[in-house]
Structure 1
């Protein structure tokens, strides 16, 4: 009995140690993001994630179709990219179903207020998006390989349909995405939480 209890304590001790290291890593990552110190790349293996914001204001916008493999699987996406983007009352959520011992969990990142999230050279693999869109100085139907207004890396396949604009504003943004990559990403007043059940941004 004592041997069994000892092994049980050892397993829990190892689990706690691993969890502690993971939390330290998350804390360091989030500290860097909140200070604008890190480049960022985000994808969920086999799953999508949701982003919402009261308003997005972007400069140097491009969009084209592509195949995203950032989550470990291939998905058709509408790539949306900005040289610079600012989001008010930013929310990002990831639903994690059937987590061992705890069930369904939702990981939520919040950066409230005006300009809660700021990014440069951000490229998003979009599954769906709704909102009120306004574009300025727009070119529609340009060859996706010839896009020039967005990030340098944001170019599609030759002959594919592309769109670009000097500026873009999206009100009441609701977006589901497979991946996000950014040269820099800053989250102001960052709050991270784990919510029981399915409690996403929208």
Structure 2
């Protein structure tokens, strides 16, 4: 999936170490060959979450994400029944998301069928040491002071102790902003999550955040 790099100054130079992509989709970089490089860590045992994930993904959206201390690398989430899922680990020391929504489907409830749980926080969400196992993500991305292609085991700008497999493809940056965030993921861990004005609903049928 191609990504168009959008320069931020008239002379073609992005200021202050900032790199901007119009489309942030499937691991941030604009070719399947690079995606394959990012996922080389999979064969070397990099695991995103330290628990077995459920058999369904969740969707999350936000008007804007602002984060500090960013690390990204290919890994996998361990599923039940020995079924693993390839993911991009998105790790942030600190992140704030405005108008946050998360949804997931509960399949095949007796007498009901599928149902959707929605967690909505119009006041936003704030997280410390946020680590996501992402299947797909899109939006308008700006990275600050970015390093692309760093050994995933040597990432040191993200949360302490969060890094990939030796020899794996890694990305890190001092900060990130994503406008119009849309993501589908298998797992989330954080040291602290604060959701403001939160409302949780369960309804029959499919009612995703996007």
Q: 1:106 aligns with which of 84, 92, 116?
A: 116
Q: 1:86 aligns to what?
A: 96
Q: 2:4 aligns to what?
A: none
TM-score for the superposition, normalised by structure 2: 0.73
Q: 1:51 aligns to what?
A: 60
Where structure 1 has 5 or more consecutive residues not aligned to the other structure, the ranges are 1-40
SS at match of 1:145: helix
Q: Provide the rounded CA distance (Å) in 2 between the counterparts of 1:67 and 1:42.
A: 11
Q: Is the 8 Å Cα contact of residues 144 and 159 (structure 1) preserved in structure 2?
A: yes
Q: Following superposition of structure 1 onto structure 2, how do residues 143-158 of structure 1 map, counting pairs within 5 Å? A: 143-158=151-166
Deviation at 1:152, TM superposition (A): 1.4
- The structure that has the greater radius of gyration is 1
Q: 1:35 aligns to what?
A: none
Deviation at 1:153, TM superposition (A): 2.8
CA-to-aligned-CA distance 1:68-122 (integer Å, 9 cap, x gap): 11x4331010100000000000000011121112211000000003xx1000001
Higher helix share: 1
Aligned length: 159
Q: Provide the rounded CA distance (Å) in 2 between the counterparts of 1:42 and 1:108.
A: 23
Where structure 2 has 5 or more consecutive residues not aligned to the other structure, the ranges are 1-49
Q: 1:12 aligns to what?
A: none
